């Protein structure tokens, strides 16, 4: 008979990539994790991992079995949650991944307030601009901009009408002038973003039912969106940022919105979950709390622009 603990260790070993990492997370010895995997392989009569002295990877059979194991564990968690009822105080650990700028400046106070409202809940926040793999990384949910149409995960909307906006500081605009059209960006210092070694210096804008792409230039590049925002506030160039990230900066006068007649690229914000069976009460309550706050921030863009309904 398959042991639940062995199934859990299989899923975590696949996510973390080694017996040692899975053992450390579960407070076990690597040999105990290895023994659990061997028991599971014996029960299934298949080899789940291809082992060598330097690497551990799933076999083709292991890749095929993993989503079923994950679903079994999720079903058991959902059954436990429903058995105890959602009115019971939220508890356990909720592991969340979020982009750097959004996580530090927007989500942090919201998540802190949510945790204070549910004192038995532990929140573990991971902040990075590297895209989190919700199937393999040790997270329960991810807050992410954009939607991958071919993805197999579930995306719950948090602010589906959010857009990118062009911003610069009053000091920068006083020294370099204000762009009057998209082509004027070619004469300005811009702050492109770097992700995975790739420079995102081609900024896209909706135009006449199509997409207009402008290749910008800049001497300050970074793979941390928070740094790009700080450079913009410091007068170092023009940034093309999510409205949610810079809303407070615009309304407090640290940044100014450029080209208010020109809509920016849509960047819907979503809560990402591997599949619906992982919608624990904590995830459902957090989604509702964040959506209420983030939708309100997203809607404030209409006050500063003249392209509502685009």
Which phi-psi region, left, alpha or beta, contains residue 237 (left: φ > 0; alpha: ψ -120 to 50)? left
**Top-level CATH class of 164-257?**
alpha beta
When pLDDT is cut at 50, 70 and 90, the band that residue 192 belongs to is very high
Phi and psi of 236, rounded to 5°? -90, -10
> In this predicted structure, which of 149-153, 182-186, 277-281 has the lowest mean pLDDT?
149-153
If one compares 115 and 17, the residue with the highest pLDDT of the two is 115
Indicate the pairing of strand 92-98 with strand 121-127. Answer: parallel
CA angle 128, 160, 132 (to 5 degrees): 25
**Please, are residues 269 and 163 in contact by the beta-carbon 8 Å criterion?**
no
Which phi-psi region, left, alpha or beta, contains residue 105 (left: φ > 0; alpha: ψ -120 to 50)? alpha
- C-beta neighbour count of 11 within 10 angstroms: 18
Of 165, 152, 136, 126, nearest to 261 (Cα)?
Answer: 165
**E runs forming strands in the chain:** 49-51, 56-58, 92-98, 121-127, 141-145, 154-159, 164-168, 193-195, 198-200, 202-207, 210-215, 239-242, 256-257, 269-273
- pLDDT, tens digit, for every residue of 111-158? 999 999 999 999 998 888 766 655 566 678 888 888 665 556 678 899
Cα separations in angstroms, 67 against 43, 63, 72, 74: 17, 8, 9, 10
- CATH assignment of 4-84, given 1.10.10.10, 1.10.3720.10, 3.40.50.740, 3.40.1080.10? 1.10.10.10
When pLDDT is cut at 50, 70 and 90, the band that residue 20 belongs to is confident
Of 300, 269, 283, nearest to 94 (Cα)?
Answer: 283
Mean pLDDT, rounded, of the chain: 86
Is 3.40.50.10860 the CATH classification of the domain at 92-158+268-304? no
pLDDT of residue 185: 93
- Domains 4-84 and 92-158+268-304 fall in the same CATH topology: no
If residue 41 lies in a helix (H) or strand (E), which one and from where to where? helix 30-44
In angstroms, the CA 49 to CA 234 distance is: 51
Q: What percent of the chain has pLDDT over 90?
A: 43
When pLDDT is cut at 50, 70 and 90, the band that residue 87 belongs to is very low
Q: List the beta bridge partners of residue 256.
A: 168
Distance in angstroms between the alpha carbons of the first and the last residue of the chain: 57
In the predicted model, is pLDDT for residue 110 greater than 50? yes
- Mean pLDDT over residues 221-244, rounded? 93
- Mean pLDDT over residues 233-252, rounded? 95
Where exactly are the structural domains of the chain? Answer: 4-84, 92-158+268-304, 164-257
- Mean pLDDT over residues 82-101, rounded? 76
- Mean pLDDT over residues 223-241, rounded? 93
Of 172, 203, 199, nearest to 185 (Cα)?
Answer: 203
Cα separations in angstroms, 243 against 137, 138, 203, 217, 304: 28, 29, 15, 22, 11
**Please, are residues 162 and 245 in contact by the beta-carbon 8 Å criterion?**
no
> In this predicted structure, which of 192-206, 247-261, 267-281 has the lowest mean pLDDT?
267-281
């Amino acid at each position: 008979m398959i042991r639940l603990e062995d199934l859990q260790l299989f899923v975590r070993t696949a996510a973390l990539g080694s017996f040692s990492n899975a053992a450390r997370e579960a407070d076990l010895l690597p040999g105990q994790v290895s023994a659990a995997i061997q028991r599971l392989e014996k029960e299934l009569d298949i080899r789940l991992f291809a082992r060598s002295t330097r690497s551990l990877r799933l076999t083709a059979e292991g890749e095929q079995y993993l989503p079923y194991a994950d679903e079994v564990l999720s079903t058991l968690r959902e059954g436990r949650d429903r058995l105890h009822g959602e009115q019971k105080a939220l508890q356990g650990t909720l592991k969340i991944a979020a982009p750097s700028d959004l996580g530090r400046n927007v989500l942090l106070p919201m998540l802190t307030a949510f945790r204070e409202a549910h004192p038995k809940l532990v929140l573990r926040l991971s902040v990075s601009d590297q895209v989190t793999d919700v199937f393999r990384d040790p997270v329960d949910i991810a807050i992410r901009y954009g939607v991958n149409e071919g993805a197999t995960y579930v995306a719950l909307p948090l602010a589906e009408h959010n857009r990118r906006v062009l911003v610069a500081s009053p000091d920068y605009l006083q020294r370099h002038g204000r762009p009057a059209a998209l082509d004027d960006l070619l004469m300005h210092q811009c702050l492109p973003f770097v992700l995975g070694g790739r420079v995102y210096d081609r900024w896209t804008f909706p135009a006449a039912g199509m997409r207009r792409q402008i290749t910008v230039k800049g001497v300050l590049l970074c793979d941390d969106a928070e740094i790009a925002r700080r450079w913009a506030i410091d007068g170092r160039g023009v940034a093309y940022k999510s409205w949610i990230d810079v809303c407070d900066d615009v309304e407090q006068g640290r940044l100014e919105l450029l080209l208010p007649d020109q809509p920016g690229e849509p960047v819907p914000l979503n809560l990402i979950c591997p599949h619906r069976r992982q919608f624990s009460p904590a995830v459902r309550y957090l989604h509702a709390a964040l959506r209420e706050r983030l939708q309100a921030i997203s809607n404030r863009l209409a006050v500063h622009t003249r392209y509502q309904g685009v």
